[in-house]
Structure 1
């Protein structure tokens, strides 16, 4: 099995996804979009992982590679590839399918709970009733047509969605480990402007081990759901 990831800034790497892929025996490759790396041949990709980043999907004039990336994502979706989008990655899936991405009513940065949607038709991924996750976003998006809303938070309704059987978008960061958290806080410290849904650097770094264990377990379930036949 072959996994390919799309990375948008140096400090937002795979995190604990890398260990999951290694444990499952995946061949792993990546495109650093910010460095001009080429996109892969879709025939050589079984699982596509689209990482986060501080830019907007609407920044095509400043970052013209976003156009090519959206076109590539659209082809992956059409080809029924397994796709996981994380934060900006979820927004890119929505944008690739023609949906709006726009500023949320307020930024959401830090460890806050999301609640699973218990009102979908039951065939989608079963999200926990509540789990505390790492948020780091200022924008939100309209759900792709035909998708199922999996989770919401008090600060942002569209937190997780599923499209078909093989595509999941997450507005938050289940891949975070302590190293990645430190990189986020260090590289994007200017985003930590005090607000109702923005924690301090200390609060974000001082997350307890239980929360990291819970998000790692949820990430394992998401990736397993996307990659193993049911």
Structure 2
């Protein structure tokens, strides 16, 4: 059986809705937390698939989070080997950094459910399943596009919402995996962060309950198609 490794940066940001299509594609899923003492010795090149999830830290906060530099060095080796890799939110920013692009604080925070606009390339990619679907956004950082990648999606606030390099590297700034996972309760506890984005937990909760199932369904279809193309 193929092996997939989930890198989890905080306990409440797991693979969530993406678990089902990954398992259906024949992967045996395992997980490692960056706080695990064994994380520094994990071979990130070996797994058939690596999935890096989100987190509240910034790629540039390497003194506060020493594991970031360690992870980036090993991630760069994986990307250089063109091994199948999926990055979500902070994970997508780590992919951009490992490919040599700067990651930095953006002009606004993006929190809540909203659609993405697909580029022409994105509309012909697995992201086509997200067309017209509102997905969860939860970030304040962004990145420049690395060299030799294709931009797939944008929002009014952020031009770089997704990119790919060939069929094996996919980076998603947004959270199409979230919409049915009870861990959203932990996200909604960060009232100051939500307020800094100009919204409130009640609004996000209502949108989550109304729009989340459709977002997860579309996200699963996207990931299933991407995995089928590996």
Fold-level similarity (TM above 0.5): yes
Distance 1:37 1:131, change over 3 A: farther
Q: Distance in 1 between matches of 2:127 and 2:113?
A: 21
- Gapped runs of 5+ residues in structure 2? none
Distance 1:219 1:101, change over 3 A: same
Asked if the contact 2:18/2:177 (under 8 Å) is kept, the reply is yes
Q: Distance in 2 between matches of 1:56 and 1:2?
A: 28
Q: Distance in 2 between matches of 1:138 and 1:116?
A: 20
Listed one character per residue, the Cα deviations across residues 137-183 of structure 1 (whole Å, up to 9, x for unaligned) are 01110011111111111121111111111111111111112413222
Q: Distance in 2 between matches of 1:135 and 1:113?
A: 9
Report what 2:186 is aligned to: 183
- Gapped runs of 5+ residues in structure 1? none
What is the CA-CA distance between 1:68 and the residue it aligns to?
1.1
Report what 2:27 is aligned to: 26
Aligned pairs, how many? 226
Which structure has the highest helix share of the two? 2
Distance 1:47 1:121, change over 3 A: closer
What is the CA-CA distance between 1:194 and the residue it aligns to?
4.7
Q: What RMSD in Å do the two structures reach over aligned CA positions?
A: 2.2
Q: Distance in 2 between matches of 1:171 and 1:121?
A: 14
Q: 2:165 aligns with which of 163, 166, 169?
A: 163
Distance 1:83 1:222, change over 3 A: farther
Distance 1:209 1:63, change over 3 A: closer
Distance 1:228 1:100, change over 3 A: same
Q: Distance in 1 between matches of 2:132 and 2:145?
A: 21
Q: Distance in 2 between matches of 1:87 and 1:152?
A: 14
TM-score (norm 1): 0.88
Q: Which runs of 4+ in 1 moved over 6 A?
A: none
